[in-house]
Amino acid sequence: MLSDKPIKIAKVGQQATDSEILRLAIIAELDAINLYDQLAASTDNGDMKKVLLDVAKEEKTHFAEFQTMLLQIDSEQVQEMEKGRKEVKELTER
């Protein structure tokens, strides 16, 4: 994993463990997406580029799976995501 782990799983209370595990999984998927996109941009080999971009796309699916699970167990995350959506909409409406 390219990013540092923001928490130490062993030190997190039982109640928050699942949320923290999912957040770490999300970080890992974002790292993988960025890595594969950067590698694809760095090669002139068309076949390699196609494969790397396809794998990056699969990682986006994994990200969505973990995010979906997180939203199922963390109601505060759901509320904050909705606040974020509203703020972006307000800031970007013309």
Q: What is the pLDDT of residues 66-80, one digit of tens each?
A: 999 999 999 999 999
pLDDT at 69: 96
Is 22:69 a contact under the CB 8 Å cutoff? yes
- Mean pLDDT, rounded, for 47-52: 98
Would you give the distance in Å from CA 67 to the centre of its chain? 7
pLDDT, tens digit, for every residue of 14-46? 557 899 899 999 999 999 999 999 999 999 999
Give, to the nearest 10 degrees, the angle between helix 46-73 and helix 75-92.
Answer: 120
